[in-house]
Amino acid sequence: MIYPLLRHALFTLDAEVAHERTAALLKLAVKTPGMAAVLKRLFAPATRGLSQQIAGMHFAHPIGLAAGFDKHADLTHGMALLGFSHIEVGTVTPRPQAGNPKPRLFRLAQDDALINRMGFNSEGMQVVAERLATRPRALPVGINIGKNRDTALEQAGDDYLAAFTHLAPHADYVAVNISSPNTPGLRQLHETAALRELLEALIKANQWHRPIFLKISPDETPTQIEQVVATAIEAGISGIIATNTTLARPNLRSANANETGGLSGEPLKQAALETLRFVAQLTAKRVPIIGVGGISRAEDVYARLKAGASAVQLYTALVYQGPAVAARLSWGLSALMRRDGVRDISEVIGVEC
């Protein structure tokens, strides 16, 4: 009820400044005596019939926070209080880097969307590892890793391996980001030989037995996606995250529609769903899939589960709907399942793939 007023004030600010102000408020709330208990009660999600094990991790319900919101692992405690089932931190690079010049985050309010060209702004793996050492333990916290901008593509594997070995001990799972459109050349790592070499190196180094998920692009052709999925499964990947942001600009109305960067939110919904459905057909339930892109309603969550996702993640909907979004979607999903006579989430996953 309060967020529409707060959103009006935040939307008068630059999008990245508004994010920083929101993050500061959340960190202040966590430190305020008694406020953690209030937030936990206020944003309590539905869990009955929604819990499951995914890659050996317990998810209280399927709705998590996508990478990009908590880039530096300094919001994990606050986000855990807002009812998310899991949190993905990052993208984190081995060495600190500033990312692309500002402005680099843009609202498309008429489209319920964002465009970002952040460019992996990161405080680096050492700072993030220190913060993850004190992260909340009540829910899975994943770490999304990428390469530094000034690292040549031929040496990208060294960056991923460094970030993985430094951060994996502190995370419940690791997401390998080869699909951001904002780091030049990164998506070339979708190519079979490069991808196989990268994943095999990470799996060989995985002495902590952490689940490794591969985050893929929605902009690849069906043939490219088929090759990526086959390579990932052959390498022994634990799961797939579908999808990252898109370079496409489908029928946008907002003034910022022509900004360079990755598009997220409502306009990505159909492409992300179609990619998920195709990936689910290719994997045939051999590995779990996390669905991302354009998820803002309980019906969207339900559709992704039916299409083959075991869990979903969101970011843009948090900007437009506010801190109650995870709780609201979980209760809405629970209502949809009751309507259809579904008692457990396992009865829904992949029924339409």
Which residues are tagged catalytic?
Answer: 180
CA distances (Å), origin 323, targets 84, 150, 177, 318, 347: 10, 36, 26, 6, 29
Burial degree of 236 (CB within 10 A; 0-12, 13-18, 19+): middle
Length of the chain measured in residues: 353
Q: Which residues contact 250 (CB under 8 A, 6 or more apart)?
A: 267, 270, 271
Residues 268 and 300: their CA atoms lie apart, in Å, by 12
> Is 293 in contact with 218 (CB distance < 8 Å)?
yes
Residues 15 and 29: their CA atoms lie apart, in Å, by 21
Q: Parallel, antiparallel, or unpaired: how do β-strands 57-59 and 52-54 relate?
A: antiparallel
